[in-house]
A and B are shown apart, each in its own frame.
Chain A
Amino acid sequence: MASDDEIEKTQEERKKMEKQLESLTELTFDTDLYGDSDKASYFPSIPATEEEETHDAEVIPRRNFQSYTGHDVAVPINNSNDAGDNEVVTSRRIIDREDDYRRRRLNQILSPDRHDAFAAGEKTPDPSVRSYADIMRDEALKREREETIRLISKKKKEEEEAGKAAPVAEKEKSQQNQQQKRRNRWDQNQNLEEGGVKKSKTSDWDAPDSNAMTPGRWDATPTPGRVVDATPGRRNRWDETPTPGRLVDSDATPGGVTPGGVTPGGATWDATPKLSGGITPTPKRQRSRWDETPATMGSVTPLPGATPAAAYTPGVTPVGGVELATPTPGALQGSFTPEQYNLLRWERDIEERNRPLTDEELDAMFPQEGYKVLDPPASYVPIRTPARKLLATPTPLGTPLYQIPEENRGQQFDVPKEAPGGLPFMKPEDYQYFGALLNEENEEELSPDEQKERKIMKLLLKVKNGTPPQRKTALRQLTDKAREFGAGPLFNRILPLLMQPTLEDQERHLLVKVIDRVLYKLDELVRPYVHKILVVIEPLLIDEDYYARVEGREIISNLSKAAGLATMIAAMRPDIDNIDEYVRNTTARAFSVVASALGIPALLPFLKAVCQSKKSWQARHTGIKIVQQIAILIGCAVLPHLRSLVEIIEHGLNDENQKVRTITALSLAALAEAAAPYGIESFDSVLKPLWKGIRQHRGKVLAAFLKAIGFIIPLMEALYASYYTKEVMLILIREFQSPDEEMKKIVLKVVKQCVSTEGVEAEYIRTDILPEFFRNFWVRRMALDRRNYKQLVETTVEIANKVGVADIVGRIVEDLKDESEPYRRMVMETIEKVVTNLGSSDIDARLEELLIDGILYAFQEQTSDDANVMLNGFGAVVNSLGQRVKPYLPQICGTIKWRLNNKSAKVRQQAADLISRIAVVMKQCHEEQLMGHLGVVLYEYLGEEYPEVLGSILGALKSIVNVIGMTKMTPPIKDLLPRLTPILKNRHEKVQENCIDLVGRIADRGAEFVPAREWMRICFELLEMLKAHKKGIRRATVNTFGYIAKAIGPQDVLATLLNNLKVQERQNRVCTTVAIAIVAETCSPFTVLPALMNEYRVPELNVQNGVLKSLSFLFEYIGEMGKDYIYAVTPLLEDALMDRDLVHRQTAASAVKHMALGVAGLGCEDALVHLLNYVWPNIFETSPHVINAVMEAIEGMRVALGSAVVLNYCLQGLFHPARKVREVYWKIYNSLYIGAQDALVAAYPSLEDEHNNVYSRSELMIWRSMKRVQSFPSHMLPVGRFHKFGRFKHHNCWSSEISVQNFPSNTCPLSNLVIIISLDSEFIGFPCIPLFSKFTFGLQCGLGDEFRCCSTHPYKGPAFKMEKKVELSGNFLAADIR
């Protein structure tokens, strides 16, 4: 694109200029004063939002494989051609998606246990554990050491500078290098080898104002233990290969470790890039510098023994350690890192595959004769390519001496040994941690402690690698036995696992879960381990993954509840002024979690002290940052403590340290954002310093101050807001010109916030802000960056809300014809939003003309894939102009017509889409003729072959039909519809959806224009559509069935649908049943029910179920109308509810539910009670769908019959001797209780008093004499049966006599007030419930009862047998009525 080229060119030019400038200014300033920094170490831009940006996925493109880790065998292959770098498979390992900053977590050391002052009480702490004092002393030492190292390095650099100063001429030559030095490590190395000074890439936050003013490198060197790699930029994968012994042996001698890539000549691990061949320039990185690893992050190895000083002596070749020798098999155990193991395995594998063929193999492959076997020439030596041998010894110092390998029977060859005892598979990386499990030692011989360790290891391995059931049990065991195992052994095993560099997301999640559970159990026992846990959990707080962050917060919150505030503070205090920014950052976040867990007030005194720390600015910085994090974390809950929080940090605005000032302003911004719209009075004290500050500061600090102001102004009252806005606006307008992206974003945001406040008047904005605003921001460059684009549109829309449409649109309308497409799109989006918000009444005739002209131009010129912005913009403008568009319509339609004929499919599609957007307006403008014309044009294009375009054309037709109606439509419906029938066969979703919508519309409104035969044809096509994946299509289809049935009568449609019930596909049948129900709804049920019920006689499972399902849908749709049909379908449902097939009963139950809900209160209780008697025996079903349907049916009955009736059904089983029965009955009781608790009060049974307990509700007897209630005739009491159950008594429930005597609901004194049913309906059967057979009883319904259970029952009909229907005699009722 032209503009892009232009921009690139300008950028290039600027770079050139800068280069020249650089060469001029180089060495002209005093290095003593300014340090040896050069321009390159300055920041090219100034983000003022601190590292919360690191979470913004948009900002930071994922940098997988930015730095390769040496142990992943797949990587070397990929690495060899850097071009294919992008298409690497994403790995599940955490480390692969982390950026360097986050990877710094691996540098942390799990500190030793700490002294627990609470547990120890008055005792002097054991000298072996570290106390708070020890740690603070260590930290101080570290800082001092850091300082010293810094000084040394500075001196060294100065010396080198001095040495280099002489050959100034050399400068020109190395210009190129300097230009790229921030990026390319190879150049760097050259630099280095020339003895040039290393220029650090970019500096860390700490850099600019660290005392010595040295660039970031030393400042950021975090722990003294770190071995510094001097290669910034993209690291080579070899850098990552941990030096042997890294993780294994922390006491390794410094000599054993080759520090970083700085050792030039030595063929160490780090230097291997020469071998890898694929040396390519590093791709440029787009990254926010906040997450940038300071240049020093190479092969960091937390080795306390190795001093960085050693790393800075390039001349000294480190003494090759034993570790570098060929890994003899004997050495594989133990000190072998997983990565190496992987490499070895890989190499073995390759060797195995590529081994030379033996003679026997060749004999087997070739025919026996026809050729001659030659001897190899005498000079032939088999090739042993060293390059293939990845693990070939990098022997820097000659051959190591031979050692007799130690014999080890536990040695692993290339097949990993099967883990014993059903343990899950172990990955090579795990050997380091779980290797001990593979030694088949006799468990009994181990000491108890060792056994415990082993047990923990086994459980952890199961949690980490096991199958879900294994994991579950292991997790439970770990939880249950947590206190037994003890905190020490547990955490000593778990935490190192979490530091494992090859950890995957899932594994981390599981291990974190273990910690969480264990924490809960251990409670105060965790105290000595708090810091250790924090070291592994804190990194979660800055993870990209939202859930990881939440998980981290939860753990820390639980930890602080378990350990208590004092312990937490003691553990984290030393980290607050840690030299490593990473540690401080995570600690601040962790502190905010502690605050939210234990309450802000508890933490306030501590925070206050930290924020006022005199000792180090880092402490103040972190303290203020904690406040910021608290605000971000707990949002509006800061309000009660707002004033104290502001007071704690306010002095930071005038701090001597620039960084502290910045973070203070950012914290204030966060507080104001959290408190909005309240709490302005708390900010009173900071207003003055803030407004003074914006006049004093520049750059990053200014940006932060502006941000704070931007968030505070909206809290103010109108008057003040207006005043303060005017104050700040001067500065803002000045900063409009800032070239810095970050500043631009902040300025835009602040303008938006200021403008949207109440007190700022339109006139002021118009005169003071708009001219500058448009001049500086409405430029093409702003459209290129996604975030700028969004922010600019938002701000402009906000301004438009104040100053009106005409002003804004008038200013940008010309730009619709700009030559840059992204810019046009930005203009269009803004116009769309403004016009949608505010309408177009302000737009005068001239502007209107320009606008239409502009949007037409922009619409026609678009080339990008995303057409939505233009379409929406066009639609919004046209719709809001309404009738005023009329004069332009012919032109618009001309364009559309021309574009419908375009060669490019996309253009045709856009044109068709545009028709559907403007159809309504065309109607408003009375352009029916034009629309008819468009209709004909579209009709002609129905032969379109691109489905996307065809879909749009159908959509356009639909919108035209919708607005001009069926009668006026051209082409006439009778021509249009037959043309659509074949399109229904199209399987493309967009086509299907639009086509079915159009057909449905025609069937709904204009069915009479088309002969019935055509509709039947369409019906058959529609059946196919029921297979569609998209629900919208299926729904439209079934609705269309309804319309068609209404148009041509239900008989034929119904016949088609009923036939379709026989098909195999479930989805098809389900949709058919829905369609039947819809047909019944649209054409009244009586036209459908006879045929439907007749279909039930077909002896086929699917058909019968389909009928039942249709009934269920039908009664759901017809609701109250159901009262006329309920008696008609009852016999069918009776049959279905007694069917052997589960699905029959399930579907019938759901039909009963819908029926009951529909006819509630309409006087159909008799039929419903009858149906309930059939539903009730199914309560013991166990299949989930069936039991759900049955329970829902009972719920429906509760609504229709009242809860008292259902309670009466329920009472008989609540205290049944069999638990299985009781459980089900209580389940029903509970849902009854939840559904209608109040109604039950009237229906509760009266219980008999017992010993000292009064169970009767005596108040209810007030108007009655306390007479004994009627009891049942004794022959109905199933006494004998009940007493068989031994458990009955001790459950302290009723004896059978009592229970039965008290059941009848008509004994309840309130019953005659509320329930009417019980007077004439007697309980005719009582529970002699045989445990596992069906039974029923309840209210007499007079329609028969099939579920009597035994011959001693008062029921005099024929004996009931399972699964067999009972034939009843004509006078069967006589048997029941005594």
Chain B
Amino acid sequence: MQASDRFNINSQLEHLQAKYVGTGHADINRFEWAVNIQRDSYASYIGHYPLLSYFSIAQNESIGRQRYTFMQKMLLPCGLPPEREEE
């Protein structure tokens, strides 16, 4: 850990990760980041009512169903995690 990190929020990186799931780190891979992005996006769509109604108009779905779909998509937004390549 750098000396500078002792004073700021990154000093408790693990704690930070636990508190804010979407935060990243130097060893994150494409998949993990993408999952975070997707989940954040869905959460945001659900959270902003105008966006939700925008999507439901586009899909011709009820707002409730649209919300449900988004929530379901948050489970595995990018599919199963890829197998890790070995060293």
**Which residues does A use to contact B, with CB under 8 Å?**
1182-1184, 1187-1188, 1191, 1214-1215, 1219, 1222-1223, 1226-1227, 1229-1231, 1233-1234, 1237-1238, 1240-1241, 1244, 1247, 1250-1255, 1257, 1259, 1262-1263, 1290-1294
Nearest Cβ on chain B to A1373's Cβ, whole angstroms: 36
Q: Mark B33-65, 1 if CB is under 8 A from A, else 0.
A: 110011011001101000000010011000000
Contact A1252 B28 (CB under 8 A): no
Distance between B60 CB and nearest chain A CB, rounded to angstroms: 11
Residues of A within 8 A of B27 (CB): 1291
Q: In whole angstroms, how far apart are the Cα atoms of A503 and B47 in the complex? A: 60
Cα A1223 to Cα B45 in complex, Å, equals: 30
A700 to B63 Cα, complex, angstroms? 72
CB pair B44 A1251 closer than 8 Å: no
Residues of B within 8 Å of A1219, CB to CB, are 26
| A1290, B34: Cβ atoms closer than 8 Å | no
Assess whether B78 is in contact with A1254, with CB atoms less than 8 Å apart: yes
Contact A1233 B4 (CB under 8 A): no
A488 to chain B: closest CB distance in Å? 34
Is B68's CB within 8 Å of the partner chain A? no
Q: In the complex, how many angstroms separate the beta carbon of B1 from the nearest chain A beta carbon?
A: 10
A1257 touches B38 (CB 8 A): yes
A-B contact pairs, 24 of them (CB 8 A): A1183-B4, A1184-B4, A1188-B7, A1188-B8, A1223-B25, A1229-B24, A1230-B20, A1231-B9, A1233-B23, A1234-B16, A1237-B22, A1238-B40, A1238-B44, A1241-B40, A1250-B30, A1250-B82, A1253-B80, A1253-B82, A1254-B79, A1291-B29, A1292-B29, A1292-B82, A1292-B85, A1293-B29
Q: Within 8 Å CB of A1191, what residues of B?
A: 8
Q: Are B55 and A1262 in contact (CB under 8 A)?
A: yes
B14 smallest CB distance to A (angstroms)? 12
- A1257 with B41: CB separation less than 8 A: yes
Distance (Å) between the CB of B32 and the closest chain A CB? Answer: 9
- Say whether B30 contacts A1293, CB under 8 Å: yes
Residue of A nearest to B29 (CB): A1292
Q: Give A1227's nearest chain B residue, CB to CB.
A: B10
Separation of A1253 and B7 alpha carbons in the complex (Å): 39
Residues of B in contact with A (beta carbons under 8 Å apart): 2-10, 16, 20, 22-31, 33-34, 37-38, 40-41, 44-45, 47, 55, 58-59, 77-80, 82, 84-85, 87
Which chain A residues lie closer than 8 Å to B7 at the CB level?
1184, 1188
Q: Could you tell me if B80 and A1252 are in contact, using CB atoms closer than 8 angstroms?
A: yes
Q: Which 8 A-B pairs have the closest CB atoms?
A: A1184-B4, A1292-B29, A1222-B26, A1241-B44, A1255-B34, A1187-B4, A1230-B23, A1262-B58
Q: Give every chain A residue within 8 A of B59 (Cβ-Cβ).
A: 1262
Partner of B78, one of A1183, A1238, A1255: A1255
Given contacts A1219-B26, A1292-B30, 16 further A-B pairs with CB under 8 A are A1184-B6, A1223-B25, A1223-B26, A1226-B24, A1226-B26, A1230-B23, A1237-B40, A1238-B44, A1238-B47, A1241-B41, A1253-B34, A1255-B30, A1255-B38, A1262-B55, A1263-B58, A1292-B85
B82–A1233 CB distance below 8 A: no
Contact B29 A1259 (CB under 8 A): no
How many Å from the CB of A1264 to the closest CB on chain B? Answer: 11
Residues of A within 8 A of B5 (CB): 1227
Q: Is the CB of A1234 within 8 A of B26?
A: no
* Shortest distance from the beta carbon of A157 to any chain B beta carbon, whole Å: 66
**Residues in B whose Cβ lies below 8 Å from that of A1187:** 2, 4
A1251 neighbours in B (Cβ, 8 Å): 82
Minimum Cβ distance to chain A for residue B73 (Å) = 9
- A10 CA to B19 CA in the complex, in Å? 68
Closest to B30 in A: A1293
A1230–B9 Cα distance when bound, in Å, is: 9
CA of A1257 to CA of B45, assembled, Å? 12
Q: Given contacts A1241-B41, A1247-B34, A1292-B30, are A1234 and B82 in contact (CB under 8 A)? A: no
Q: How far is the CA of A1252 from the CA of B44 in the complex (A)?
A: 25
B27 to nearest A CB, angstroms?
8
Chain B min CB distance to A1257 (Å) = 6
Task: Determine the chain B residues whose CB is within 8 A of the CB of A1214 once the complex forms.
Answer: 24, 33
Instruction: For residue A1188, give the distance in angstroms from its CB to the closest CB of chain B.
Output: 6
If the complex has contacts A1244-B37, A1292-B84, are A1234 and B28 also in contact, measured as CB distance less than 8 A?
no
**B31 contact from A1226, A1227, A1253, A1263, Cβ within 8 A:** A1253
Whether A1290 pairs with B20 at a CB distance below 8 angstroms is no
Cα distance, A1263 to B3, chains bound together (Å): 49
Give the shortest distance, in Å, between A1143 (CB) and chain B (any CB).
15
A1226 touches B25 (CB 8 A): yes
- Give the Cβ gap from A441 to chain B, nearest Cβ, in Å: 41
List, in ascending order, chain A residues with CB within 8 A of B77's CB. Answer: 1254
Which residues of the other chain, A, contact B10 by a CB distance below 8 angstroms?
A: 1227, 1230-1231
Across-interface contacts of A1250 in B (CB, < 8 A): 30, 82
Assembled-state Cα–Cα distance A1263/B5 (Å): 45
Distance between A992 CB and nearest chain B CB, rounded to angstroms? 33
> What is the CA–CA distance of A1227 and B25 in the complex, to the nearest angstrom?
7
Question: Which residues of chain A are within 8 angstroms of B84 by Cβ–Cβ distance?
Answer: 1292
What is the bound-complex CA distance between A1294 and B29, given in angstroms? 9
Contact A1290 B40 (CB under 8 A): no
Q: Once the chains bind, are B85 and A1253 in contact (CB under 8 Å)?
A: no
A residues in contact with B22, CB < 8 Å: 1233, 1237
State whether B40 touches A1240 (Cβ < 8 A).
yes
Query: Shortest beta-carbon distance, B30 to chain A, in Å?
Result: 5
